[in-house]
Amino acid sequence: MGKFEINILGCGSALPTLRHYPSTQVLNIRDNLFMIDCGEGAQIQFRRMHLKFTRLGHIFLSHLHGDHCFGLIGMISTLSLLGRTGELVIHAHPQAEAVFRPQLDFFCRELPFAVRFEPVVPNRSEVIYEDRSIRVTSLPLIHRVPCSGFLFEEKPGQLHLRGDMVKFYDIPIYRRAEIKAGADYTTPDGQIVPNARLTTPADEPLRYAYCSDTAYNEALIPLIRGVDCLYHEATFGDDAEELARLTCHSTARQAARMARKAAVKQLLLGHFSARYDDEQPLCDEASQEFTPCMLAHEGMKIVLGR
Ligand SMILES: [Zn+2]
Ligand SMILES: [Zn+2]
């Protein structure tokens, strides 16, 4: 299967720091770019990470807090200056269009492309985007305002043809696609060769879950079970557990508990509070509950693979 890459453009939270940009990620899935959240400076980071503006077709906003969406108008304005055409789809809370449309009408009057807002209804999990190769499902998060996470997953791929069998039965090229889709093969003299003899299983679809911003929420576990990578916010450490509860955020330890209970393959922590000069203690606390666990950082690129 094709490329599935997570690019971290920003992993800070609401208060500015000199270490982090606010929340922004870009997934590169088979050279199509999907942005998740769009904090201030997203377009600068986009350029810094050598991502191609022309490959961006969809932006998913988790919620309407500034640290997740203040970069949107700048991003759209830049796409316009670059002469983008076609359509850009913003998947966001149903209120988002009322918030951003007047700004677009004022600052981006003659856009050479259409901006379409696709409402993401909070408090439920449903498929919000689908194409030939991937599916995106919303994840209900618990925050001070309506908030949705996102599960990106590949669709099941095709079976792999065994080269030795292709040779042995001299299978013509025009029959190979149907065998990869599961069909048996009938030889010219009428012998039926079962599919299982000719193929090996398809690759396991890759899955990535983005959960920010959210309080600890065990209802998510069945929705994210076994994902290849879980990004979970870890705004605070053990020192500020009460503050996490009051502000509907999570501690690193809680993020790791989610990872353990959902049996994910790896955990990526982010959305760090400005109160920490060094996030390593957050990683240490999380690692007591679950490994492998990593701290996100700007410029980080994770390639999901098999
Ligand atoms: Zn935030
Ligand atoms: Zn928030």
Predicted confidence at residue 220, as pLDDT, reads 97
State whether 228 and 191 are in the same domain.
Answer: no
The span from the CA of 159 to the CA of 71, in Å, is: 42
Contact 271, 233 (CB under 8 A): yes
Closest to 81 measured CA to CA, from 59, 107, 116: 107
State whether 101 and 180 are in the same domain.
Answer: no
Name the residue with tokens 């990683």. 283
Ligand whose nearest atom lies closest to the CA of 235:
1
Domain count, the chain: 2
Closest to 228 measured CA to CA, from 213, 210, 216, 214: 210
Of 144, 179, 200, the one marking the end of a domain is 200
Q: Using the 8-state DSSP alphabet, how is residue 22 labeled? A: B
Of 200, 232, 261, the one marking the end of a domain is 200
State whether 185 and 36 are in the same domain.
Answer: no
Ligand whose nearest atom lies closest to the CA of 15:
1
State whether 133 and 192 are in the same domain.
Answer: no
CA of 56 to the centre of ligand 2 (A): 24
State whether 21 and 128 are in the same domain.
Answer: yes
Cβ count near 246 (within 10 Å): 11
Contacts for 117 with CB less than 8 Å, ≥ 6 apart: 89, 90, 92, 96, 97, 100, 101
Ligand whose nearest atom lies closest to the CA of 234:
1
CATH assignment of the domain containing 18: 3.60.15.10
CA of 92 to the centre of ligand 2 (A): 14
State whether 281 and 194 are in the same domain.
Answer: no
State whether 186 and 207 are in the same domain.
Answer: no
CA of 185 to the centre of ligand 2 (A): 55
Q: Structure tokens of 22?
A: 């606010």
CA of 124 to the centre of ligand 1 (A): 20
State whether 147 and 234 are in the same domain.
Answer: yes
pLDDT by position in tens, the chain (length 306):
689 999 999 999 999 999 999 999 999 999 999 999 999 999 999 999 999 999 999 999 999 999 999 999 999 999 999 999 999 999 999 999 999 999 999 999 989 999 999 999 999 999 999 999 999 999 999 999 999 999 999 999 899 999 999 999 999 999 999 999 999 999 999 999 999 999 999 999 999 999 999 999 999 999 999 999 999 999 999 999 999 999 999 999 999 999 999 999 999 999 999 999 999 999 999 999 999 999 999 999 999 986
The span from the CA of 67 to the CA of 271, in Å, is: 10
Q: Using the 8-state DSSP alphabet, how is residue 265 labeled? A: S
The span from the CA of 68 to the CA of 151, in Å, is: 17
Residues labelled as active-site residues: 67
Where in the sequence is the domain holding 227, given as residue range(s)? Answer: 4-157+203-303
State whether 147 and 213 are in the same domain.
Answer: yes
Handedness of CA 137, 139, 140, 143 (dihedral sign): negative
